[in-house]
Amino acid sequence: MLLLSLATIGFANNGFSVSSTLKVDFAPGNVQYHAGTGAWRFAPTQYAVVGVYNNIRLGNPDLNVWIDLFGWSTTSTYFGVNASNKDADYYGDFVDWGAVFEDGVTWRTPTRDEWQYILTGRANAAQLWGEGGIIWNDNGNNQVNGVFLLPDDWTTPAGINFEPGFIPEIDYDHGQNVYDLDQWETMEAAGAVFLPYAGYRVGGEGNTWNGASETTEVNPETDYFSWVSNVQVYGYYWTSTPHPTNANLAYYVLAPGLNGAMTAFTVPVVWSRELRRGNSVRLIKEHDIVTGVSSVSRDGNVEPGVVKRVVDGRVVIEKNGVTYDVTGSRLH
């Protein structure tokens, strides 16, 4: 059976402009690495995070665990899988995390300018992001906080309420845009992307860090002084862009952004930080015309969950409430 090239990455996505001429799709989860086997994968859900355990898992290949916070990737460190607290150990040319995925898709790390364009350069950009959370258990007491990014031509699904931006006077506890799993599945099917607040891993040498005196305790699992901070409070996502003048720094996205005081939150911002910093990684690829339909055969068969209809004399394909023609172009 010969298949048309209508590939899916796990959820519908109508494209995110990263420049005036290029659209991309996001990977279906943050990058994760298995400390024992050396395997790479995307997190099983968009809201999955490892959290505070990143600090004991780095550097111990005997543990059957995954990590998801990485130092900036260079030729001297294997895609940032390194517990080192020395920026010098991260010198070298950037090695794109996308190279680890041998799935036939050209995944890559967004540049600084591409992240900035998504956040502030797109038409109506201020309406296409918002902080919130996903409740992932039936009891409703386990919430993952993060920021939602919406595709260019977003339409909020029926029965869903979405408030863009960040409202500090009511939302420091992340009470805005909170969805249960059914609601999130509806958002995801419509193209929403969720960047969880996985915090960051930081290493020191037991003496100073950013000029402040720190403890001399060394992590026995890594032989380095390190810890994970700000899980559920902030998201830190690497770009592929190094600092132009300081070889110790590279650019990353901080969500939500800050403007002075700790309570003065803004749109996520792009800042620079030390290469040893353990941040999250979310990859992108060139936008497919349609990503909601996994396969359509030339004999007219479609996979389960995809509905084929004849409307006004032509064949259309429906997936997750969105209609496409047989070339994969969205109709409405």
Phi, psi angles (nearest 5°) of residue 54: -55, -30
Those residues whose C-beta lies under 8 Å from the C-beta of residue 213, and which sit 6 or more positions away, are: 207
Confidence at residue 136, expressed as pLDDT on a 0 to 100 scale:
87
Assigned domain for 315 exists: no
Residue 313 has pLDDT above 80, yes or no: no
Assigned domain for 330 exists: no
Assigned domain for 203 exists: yes
Q: Are 310 and 318 in contact (CB under 8 A)?
A: no
Residue 221 has pLDDT above 90, yes or no: no
**Boundaries of domain holding 229:** 1-292
Assigned domain for 309 exists: no
Highest-scoring range by mean pLDDT, 159-173, 238-252, 294-308 = 238-252
Over range 304-328, report the average pLDDT: 61
- Find how far residue 297's CA is from the centre of its chain: 32
The Cα–Cα gap between 242 and 136 comes to 36
The one-letter amino acid code at 284 reads: I
Residue 134 has pLDDT above 90, yes or no: yes
168-211: pLDDT as tens digits: 654 444 568 999 999 999 999 999 999 999 999 876 543 333 33
Assigned domain for 310 exists: no
Confidence at residue 9, expressed as pLDDT on a 0 to 100 scale:
34
Q: How many domains does the chain have?
A: 1
Residue 294 confidence class, pLDDT cut points 50, 70, 90: very low
Those residues whose C-beta lies under 8 Å from the C-beta of residue 173, and which sit 6 or more positions away, are: none
The Cα–Cα gap between 43 and 31 comes to 6
Give the mean pLDDT of the chain.
Answer: 78
Element (H, E) at 95: none
Those residues whose C-beta lies under 8 Å from the C-beta of residue 71, and which sit 6 or more positions away, are: 77, 80, 81, 82, 84, 90, 275, 276, 277, 278
* String of DSSP letters for 131-194: EEEEE-STTS--EEEEEEE--TT--PPTT-----B--HHHHTT--SSEEEHHHHHHHHHTT-EE
Query: Strand, helix or coil at 51?
Result: helix
Q: Environment class of residue 189 by beta-carbon count within 10 Å: exposed (0-12), middle (13-18) or buried (19+)? A: middle
Assigned domain for 120 exists: yes
The Cα–Cα gap between 16 and 298 comes to 29
Confidence at residue 119, expressed as pLDDT on a 0 to 100 scale:
93
* String of DSSP letters for 268-331: -EEEEEETT-BBB---EEEPPS-SS---BBTTS-B-TT-EEEEETTEEEEEETTEEEETTS-B-
Residue 11 confidence class, pLDDT cut points 50, 70, 90: very low
Residue 56 has pLDDT above 50, yes or no: yes
Confidence at residue 244, expressed as pLDDT on a 0 to 100 scale:
95
CA angle (100 as vertex; 97, 103 as ends), nearest 5: 120
Assigned domain for 132 exists: yes
Residue 86 confidence class, pLDDT cut points 50, 70, 90: confident
Over range 121-138, report the average pLDDT: 91
Nearest Cα residue to 235 out of 46, 44, 20 = 46
Q: What does pTM read for this prediction? A: 0.78
Over range 70-84, report the average pLDDT: 85
Over range 222-243, report the average pLDDT: 83
Assigned domain for 155 exists: yes
Structure tokens that stand for 207 in this block:
């003496």
Q: Are 55 and 201 in contact (CB under 8 A)?
A: yes
Pick the range with the lowest mean pLDDT from 102-111, 158-167, 185-194, 261-270. 261-270
The one-letter amino acid code at 87 reads: D
Those residues whose C-beta lies under 8 Å from the C-beta of residue 199, and which sit 6 or more positions away, are: 49, 51, 52, 69, 228, 229, 230, 231, 232, 233, 234, 236
Those residues whose C-beta lies under 8 Å from the C-beta of residue 211, and which sit 6 or more positions away, are: none
Pick the range with the lowest mean pLDDT from 62-71, 157-166, 290-299. 290-299
